[in-house]
Structure 1
Amino acid sequence: MGRLDQKVLIVDDEKANRKILKELLQEEATIIFAKNGEQAVELAKKHVPDLILLDVVMPDKSGFEVIEEIKNNPITMAISVIFVTGLANSDDEERGFDLGGCDYIYKPFKANIVIARVLMHLELIRQRKMLDKFAHLDALTGISNRRKLDIVLKDEIAANKRDQKQLAVALIDVDFFKQYNDHYGHGAGDIALKKVATTIRENLHRPRDFSARYGGEEFVVLLPDSDLAGATLVLNNMLQAVEDKEFPHEFSKISDHLTISIGAVVIDDNQSNTQEEVLLSADKLLYQAKKNGRNRLVIECI
């Protein structure tokens, strides 16, 4: 990750302060500006910057009010916040740290201190994201792992209720994979799983569409804001794409190449399903797909 791949949101109602901070930091990150607290909250949700430089005293909302909103929103809660203030007050400092701030920068600005502190936090953020990425990747296939799935599915179920949309959750199984491993060997089986995972990922095109290895030869796909027709189209295309790759499997009972079976559910915003309940429902439909002959999709609204 290069420096300009990181984004810094500068929030200050004084144009002169925004200009100074831009001149100091524009070589270190992509800069976004907000003129007040309300705008800061909206831009934080829209851009999800790596770091926010947040003025404490503003006419519409104080920096403390802004950070409370940011930290209470699942989309923005992980963003690091440095408070910018002209008042060296220990009570304010304590309150800022209690609310989730990571540092303070004081006015008038001292260029070397501003740059040093911002660069330090950007580097910490970069390292944290790298560690998080590796901790949530499946080592074999390179897609997300079960741990990441648990986090994303929880967030998407909550977002689905909040945004009053529909969410499709699909459980995918590679057909007759035990026979594949038994006859071709586990090394070949690992290669086959990588190929299937890549094909699944290639058929997800929207930013929030998500895939993960669930365990063994099973995968999970999440399709936020998808109704029954839309999810059916995407998942049938995925099923066909795996078949079209023609990965050899002469020991399958239904084909001479690898195929997959899919069980999927579409949940409405007015349901109170847990992650476990949603996955269990998808698993029941996956069982039905296998029972009905495999290499097929069974999908229902629940």
Structure 2
Amino acid sequence: MSSTHTVLVVDDEKQNRDLLTELLREDCRVILAKNGSQALERAHELQPDLILLDVLMPDMSGHEVIQTLKNDDATRHIPVIFISALDAPEDEERGLDLGAVDYITKPFHPSIVRKRVRNHLLSVHHRHLLENLAMIDSLTEIANRRRYDEMLESEWRRCARNASPLSLAIIDVDHFKAYNDHLGHAAGDQVLRRIAQTLSRLVRRPGDLVARYGGEEFVLLLPGTDAPSARQLGDDIRAEIEALQLPHPASPVASVITVSLGGMTVMPSGGLVDPRLFSEADAALYAAKAEGRNRAFWRVAG
């Protein structure tokens, strides 16, 4: 279990909050809430890895809290353990039916609580590892298309809220089929890895995303990047990949590996991604290819 895990303790009694904090603080970061509404606010904002939730609270019961958590896409995934003085079997059954992963009765044994929390956080850790693996392209070890699709939706909404631009680039390796046919797929895989490494080196802001879209195509998602900055990045990427000097004896464009790039910048609005963002970037890529490849074209929404 990692100390980077976060546990939200929800209990209206300060003594219980203090006791659980002292019990868990060596294993994880503990955040506190003294009522249901505060718990919902902190769960939504801080996204804890686990919630320890009292059932009997004055303003909103633990049952109401977990129902609200499970009805919200942003918090439904957070596991909840009930800690309650209600110790009848039907009380435990109700808690589990509402979606709790465990039920601990008061007065609780500190060592048992600590071990149960450790076990559930270990399960969370394993789940996160699997989720991360599912978002990574196994060949290039960068984000895959699934991760790109997920990030596009969230970054579109964020940029719409902040009234900031969103730029998208599509990158295609020039005459890659000819490369594979001439030098073999193993060599082609090495080229894709080198390109992925170059993109990751050049696109380094925390919010930016480099992903393999499929085959020899890559995408860049650049939230908060305006058209001039994105266009300059596209030019830098094209030049850097050519400068790798990876031989491509079957290319009619150059003697080395080159890429074509098409990009689009928009000002997002609304909650749904406008499909024209990708189609316009793809059209810019097509134009770059039509003009002879090994170049970058950029479009801006009018």
Shorter-chain TM-score range: 0.7 to 0.9
TM-score (norm 2): 0.83
Match of 2:78 in 1: 79
Q: 1:277 to 1:20 in 2, by over 3 A?
A: same
Q: 1:289 to 1:113 in 2, by over 3 A?
A: same
Task: Give distance in 2, aligned partners of 1:63 and 1:245.
Answer: 59
Match of 1:177 in 2: 176
Match of 1:141 in 2: 140
Q: Are the counterparts in 1 of residues 208 and 221 from structure 2 also a CA contact under 8 Å?
A: yes
Task: Give distance in 2, aligned partners of 1:83 and 1:138.
Answer: 38
Task: Give distance in 1, aligned partners of 2:274 and 2:139.
Answer: 24
Task: Give distance in 2, aligned partners of 1:229 and 1:67.
Answer: 47
Q: Are the counterparts in 2 of residues 203 and 238 from structure 1 also a CA contact under 8 Å?
A: yes
Q: Are the counterparts in 2 of residues 179 and 252 from structure 1 also a CA contact under 8 Å?
A: yes
Letter in 2 for 1:118: V
Greater CA radius of gyration, 1 or 2?
Answer: 2
Q: Are the counterparts in 1 of residues 135 and 146 from structure 2 also a CA contact under 8 Å?
A: yes
Q: Deviations over 1:5-51 (max 9, x none)?
A: 32222233433222211222223323333444454445434443221
Task: Give distance in 2, aligned partners of 1:231 and 1:70.
Answer: 39
RMSD over aligned CA atoms reads 3.1
Total equivalences in the alignment: 301
Match of 2:111 in 1: 112
Structure 2 gap segments, 5+ residues each: none
Q: 1:282 to 1:76 in 2, by over 3 A?
A: farther
TM-score (norm 1): 0.83
Correspondence list, 1:53-202, <5 A: 53-58=52-57, 62-64=61-63, 66-67=65-66, 70-71=69-70, 74-88=73-87, 96-97=95-96, 100-202=99-201
**Secondary structure in structure 1 of the residue aligned to 2:156:** helix
Percent identity over the alignment is: 45
Task: Give distance in 1, aligned partners of 2:224 and 2:59.
Answer: 34
1:292 CA displacement: 2.5
Task: Give distance in 1, aligned partners of 2:228 and 2:105.
Answer: 55
Letter in 1 for 2:256: H
Task: Give distance in 2, aligned partners of 1:176 and 1:279.
Answer: 22
Task: Give distance in 1, aligned partners of 2:31 and 2:6.
Answer: 7
Task: Give distance in 2, aligned partners of 1:225 and 1:59.
Answer: 44
Letter in 1 for 2:299: E
Match of 1:19 in 2: 18
Task: Give distance in 2, aligned partners of 1:107 and 1:259.
Answer: 66
Would you say 1:52 and 2:51 are equivalent positions? yes
Task: Give distance in 2, aligned partners of 1:125 and 1:183.
Answer: 46
Q: Deviations over 1:183-221 (max 9, x none)?
A: 322111101101111221223323332222111100122
Task: Give distance in 2, aligned partners of 1:73 and 1:264.
Answer: 35
Task: Give distance in 2, aligned partners of 1:71 and 1:156.
Answer: 24
**Secondary structure in structure 2 of the residue aligned to 1:208:** coil
Moved over 6 A (4+): 89-92
Letter in 2 for 1:132: E
Correspondence list, 1:33-44, <5 A: 33-44=32-43
Structure 1 gap segments, 5+ residues each: none
1:258 CA displacement: 2.3
Q: Deviations over 1:140-194 (max 9, x none)?
A: 1112222333333333334444554432222111122123223322111101101
**Secondary structure in structure 1 of the residue aligned to 2:122:** helix
